[in-house]
Amino acid sequence: MPRAKKEAVKRRKDGRWRVVYRGMEFYSRISSDDAIAQREAYKNSLKRGNNPTLAEYALPWLERSYPAVADSTYAGLAVHLQHLIDDLGRVYVSQIVPSDIKGVYSRHYTGLSNSYIKSARQLFCSLFDSTQADGLIHGNPARDKTAKPHRGTEPKTRAITEQEREYILTLCTDHRMHPAVMAMLYAGLRPPEAKAFVIERDVCGDSITLHSFAHKKGQKYAYTGKGKTSKAIRTIPLFPPLKQALSGKHGHLISSAHGEAVTPTTWRVAWNSYKTCMETAINGVSKRWYGKTKEQQAMAREGKLPGWIPFDIVPYDLRHSFCVMCRDAGIEINTCRRWMGHADAKMILKVYDSVSEDRSEAERKKLEKTLFPGQNEGQPETGAGENVGI
């Protein structure tokens, strides 16, 4: 009796299983059986006349097309692909039309951010580009103008108010989150940059040079020299408020209770703790007991108890505020772009460069002085950079 032929399934160094059929590679992060199942699905599609269903084609395609991305990135791509498969998985690739793609956007992406929807469209277009290159379809339904997704919501970050900035400078300055908050506010650091920041390494004299960046990998962060953009590695002036906040500090900008590198859980707990500390300091009592002390109950009976003041700030609001302070101070946009770590100025103009009331008033006075020279002579001028606090 002939010996059964052993399946030629190999496990790569990255942990994925790999099997080859007629030069076509199939990968799986689950098991060798899953890689074999993908191959069999492909063989069955060939028997039907090279017309696979979307699910049969898309799953091996994702493994082949993104072999070296981080686990968190791969998981995000898989979510987009799963939405497509949920709706069209059993449909033959050759039968998918632009209205089908449009329907996926309508059912799964309503109310989501514009950048998230764009990332889904990029993935869908790449998938059908591959099917077109393999000769399965003649045109890309995802690129058709009738399949273009709706516009999503804009980023919800904002510039903090002068009062909020005063709170940050004066309250809860001994909290372990305070140095990271100051670095995001007065150096424009992204949260992943603040998480990887090491004071002795990244602070040099009167400037900051970023070397490392945090990337989520499972329940921890992986620290690499690759930032969000090609300009993420950069040097930023060390402004006095941040220099004072870092004085006497050492090690990680934000760390675990044992002084180790921060984890996603540590960051979330520390930020929530900081918000609670700030709200308690602002209102004089914790939210749980607000309005329940004898003095406050008496004020409530007289209608004099002020409303609870929340500390509604997210980390990216601080980076947003740094950009606005720079622009209010008259920093030209290319310098601001370099400090912020953007590859070009489009993101600054579109998202971060909110026009503050101070800048609007300063620009009004500049135009008024040009149109009506001499009318306001002798009156003190308000510069664009007044009270920006950098």
Q: Which domain holds residue 185?
A: 162-277
pLDDT at 292: 85
Query: Which of residues 246, 277, 308 is at a domain's end?
Result: 277
Average the pLDDT over 76-96 and give the result. 91
Average the pLDDT over 259-276 and give the result. 90
Length of the chain: 390
Does residue 155 surpass a pLDDT of 70?
no
pLDDT confidence tier of residue 35, bands split at 50, 70 and 90: confident
Q: Is the pTM of this model over 0.75?
A: no
Within a 13 Å sphere around the CA of 375, how many CA atoms are in the beta-carbon half?
A: 9
Judge whether 181 lies within some domain: yes
Residue 209 bridge partners (DSSP): 235
171/247 Cα distance (integer angstroms): 17
pLDDT at 106: 94
Judge whether 363 lies within some domain: yes
Which position has the token pair 């002390």? 293
pLDDT at 1: 43
Q: Which residues contact 148 (CB under 8 A, 6 or more apart)?
A: 102, 121
12/18 Cα distance (integer angstroms): 7
Give me the sheet containing 24-28, strands edge to edge.
Answer: 10-11, 17-21, 24-28
Q: Residues of the chain with pLDDT > 90: what percent?
A: 41
Judge whether 22 lies within some domain: yes
Number of structural domains (the chain) is 3
252 and 203, same structural domain?
Answer: yes
Cβ pair 7, 39 in contact under 8 A: no
22 and 136, same structural domain?
Answer: yes
Greater model confidence, 351 or 292: 292
